[in-house]
Amino acid sequence: MTKKQRALEIIERLKKEYPDADCSLEYDQAWKLLVSVRLAAQCTDARVNVVVEKLYEKFPDVDALASATPEAIEAIVKPCGLGKSKARDINACMKIIRDEYNGQVPDDFDALLKLPGVGRKSANLIMGDVFGKPAIVTDTHCIRLVNRFGLVDGIKEPKKVEMALWKIIPPEEGNDFCHRLVLHGRDVCTARTKPYCDRCCLADVCKKVGV
Which positions are annotated as active-site residues? 121, 139
Which DSSP category does 119 fall into? -
* CB contact at 8 A, 127 and 135: yes
Instruction: Check if the beta carbon of residue 173 is closer than 8 Å to that of residue 7.
Output: no
Give me the residues that bind ligand SF4 (CB under 6 A), please.
148, 188-189, 195-197, 200, 202-203, 206, 208, 211
* CA max distance for the chain: 55
User: How far apart, in whole angstroms, are the C-alpha atoms of residue 188 and residue 169?
Assistant: 22
- Closest CB to ligand SF4 among 94 and 155? 155
The length of the chain, given as a count of residues: 211
Q: Nearest approach, Cβ of 162 to ligand SF4 (angstroms)?
A: 20
Would you tell me how many other CB atoms lie within 10 Å of the CB of residue 80? 23
Nearer to ligand SF4, 130 or 146 (CB): 146
Q: Say which residues have a Cβ less than 8 Å from residue 128's Cβ, sequence separation at least 6.
A: 134, 135, 137, 174, 175, 178
Least distance between ligand SF4 and beta carbon 203 (Å): 4
Residue 46 CB, nearest approach to ligand SF4 (Å): 22
Cα distance between residue 198 and residue 62, in whole Å: 47
Measured from the CB atom, is 113 or 203 closer to ligand SF4?
203
Nearer to ligand SF4, 82 or 209 (CB): 209
Q: How far is the CB of 209 from ligand SF4 (least distance, A)?
A: 8
